[in-house]
Amino acid sequence: MKILHTSDWHLGHRLHEQSQMEEQSLFLDWLINYIEANEIDVLLISGDIFDVGVPPSQAQKLYYDFLIRLHNSTCSEVIITGGNHDAPSTLNAPRELLNALNIRLVGKATDSIDDEIFRISIDNEDIIVAAVPYLRDQDIRRAIASESFEEINNRYKTALTNHFSEIGARCNLLKTQQTKVIAMGHLFAIGGKTSDSEQSIYVGNLGDIGAADFPEVFDYVALGHLHRSQLVGGNGHIRYSGSPYILSFSEVGQDKKIIEISTDKTLEIKEIIVPMFRKIVQIQGSVESCKLQMERLHSEDLSLIPWVEVILTNQNEAATGYKEIYTFARDLKMEVLKVTVKDNRQYEDYIHKLENIQHLNSFTPLDVFKLKCEEQAVDLTENEELLDAFNEILQVVTEND
């Protein structure tokens, strides 16, 4: 059986207010062709189908047109889980209709964990898929009055780990010796590298889970949320597929991928590089150097207009550089979406400061609040109601995601 793992399509996303619908459409065309050419049997999409909870009609049309085309391909089973950007009601609305097309949707967790488990049989071969959607706090953890923020986060992590443990145990009961078990998840796993385009799921890092928190019954874990294709904790079978196209200038230079898994006798995992449908580049240097690089880009024969971030390294050109670059770009086949000036002195100062303080991830919101109170000479032992009010606000924010 051949399985494809992808995630984080963010249909409807705009990069600096520029619609990415063209490259998203080209990606879906390419994906259909890849599925048919390589006789893919199962497609797994691990969350963030859309960029916003109520996606524009054009993004929804792109999605449903793709699913219709997919039904007529070699792919006989599709499983889609919700991400933190997806509205469960939007994904789940056509669920019964899509079930008739062998497209399974899990927009959010339900009261029964069996709703997240699917057995797929193709050519006398079985696999089990544990399709875990993005787990919101209120989906898996009941609030307790007077609970501190640390307790909230610790109990959330415990509930998150328990959810995967419970579904893993259920899969273990259902599987035979030959059955492969694949889990899907949309979360931040410790050790993953982020980019500017991911929206933080949890406050602090207490909600994160590590590779060891996934049950051993899972032969492969298909993760979504992080946009860089990567392994988790060096484990080849626990992976983020990453987004299939650039969603932020911080992702320039990354190979975008989908993951192909073959279950023939042994589990084989192969990374497939997705073509770059629109060239998105960063150009760096003085104004004159950037102009030369822009002219070279202009001379390339590209199907879509390239998008450019210009980073000026000469601070003496800051006053006039912005206007000069934008004016120069008017007659070129490109869109300059962003011009910035690199402040090396400020950057070096930041690095020096960071080397002499604790890592920011070690601070919880409560730590920051206490430090702020200390800075403002507010004694929390004499103002317990202030601390209680802060914890209450944090709990409300966490419960409302």
What tens-digit pLDDT sequence spans the chain (401 residues)? 999 999 999 999 999 999 999 999 999 999 999 999 999 999 999 999 999 999 999 999 999 999 999 998 999 999 999 999 999 999 999 999 999 999 999 999 998 999 999 999 998 899 999 999 999 877 776 655 555 666 666 777 888 899 999 999 999 999 988 899 999 999 988 755 556 655 555 434 445 688 889 999 999 999 999 999 999 988 889 999 999 999 999 899 999 999 999 998 789 999 999 999 999 999 999 999 999 999 999 999 999 999 999 999 988 887 788 899 999 999 999 999 999 888 655 555 555 554 444 445 556 777 788 878 877 778 777 776 787 678 768 766 665 54
> Who's near 268: CB < 8 A, 6+ residues apart?
261, 262
Q: Can you list the positions of beta strands (E) in 225-264?
A: 230-232, 235-240, 257-262
Alpha helices in 74-148 (DSSP H): 88-92, 95-99, 137-140
Q: Please choose, from the candidates 80, 13, 76, the residue with its C-alpha nearest in 3D space to the C-alpha of residue 46.
A: 80
Q: What is the pLDDT of residue 315?
A: 82
CA distance 165 to 213: 8
**Residue 146 confidence (pLDDT):** 57
CA of 26: how far to CAs of 33, 187, 244, in Å? 11, 27, 11
Q: Where are the domains of the chain?
A: 2-273, 280-342, 345-399
Position 205 scores a pLDDT of 42
pLDDT at 206 (0 to 100): 42
> Using CA atoms, how far apart are residues 51 and 248, in angstroms rounded to an integer?
13
Residue 85 · residue 51 · CB < 8 Å:
yes
pLDDT of residue 391: 73
Helix (H, G, I), strand (E, B) or coil at 252: coil
Residues 344, 348: Cα–Cα separation, whole Å: 6
CB 246 within 8 A of CB 196: no
Helix (H) / strand (E) containing 30: helix 21-37
Contact 102, 76 (CB under 8 A): yes
Q: Give the per-residue pLDDT at 241.
A: 97
Q: How many CB atoms lie within 10 A of CB 313?
A: 15
User: Which residues contact residue 374 at a Cβ distance below 8 angstroms, ignoring those fewer than 6 apart?
Assistant: none
Return d(Cα 382, Cα 136) in angstroms, integer.
35
The SS3 assignment for 119 reads strand
Q: Which fold has domain 280-342?
A: Double Stranded RNA Binding Domain (3.30.160)
Provide the Cα torsion 19, 283, 8, 51; round to 10°.
-30
H helical segments located in 119-251: 137-140, 149-174
**Cβ-contact 337, 18 below 8 angstroms:** yes
| DSSP at 225 | S
The fold for domain 2-273 equals: Purple Acid Phosphatase; chain A, domain 2 (3.60.21)
H or E element in which residue 4 lies: strand 2-6
